[in-house]
Amino acid sequence: LGLAIAHELIRAHGGTVELVESIGGRTVFAVTIPDQPVRLDQARNGLRRPA
């Protein structure tokens, strides 16, 4: 649940979450967030989906 929430917040800011590696029970993710602001209407459109 925590990763799903983090993913939605990062997407709302125009960023991405990627799995870098998973070895021996340890998982590493790369998070990128652009340094340019995302317009609110763009962020909302990217998050809409059927319930």
Give me 46's structure tokens: 């990217």
Instruction: Count the domains in the chain.
Output: 1
- Per-residue pLDDT tens over the stretch 14-31: 899 999 988 888 989 999
Q: Round to whole Å and give the CA distance between 18 and 4.
A: 12
Beta bridge partners of 33: none
Predicted TM-score (pTM) of this structure: 0.59
Q: Residue 22: which domain range?
A: 2-47
Give me 5's structure tokens: 């929430």
Q: What is the pLDDT of residue 9?
A: 92
User: What residue spans of the chain are helical by DSSP H?
Assistant: 2-12, 40-47
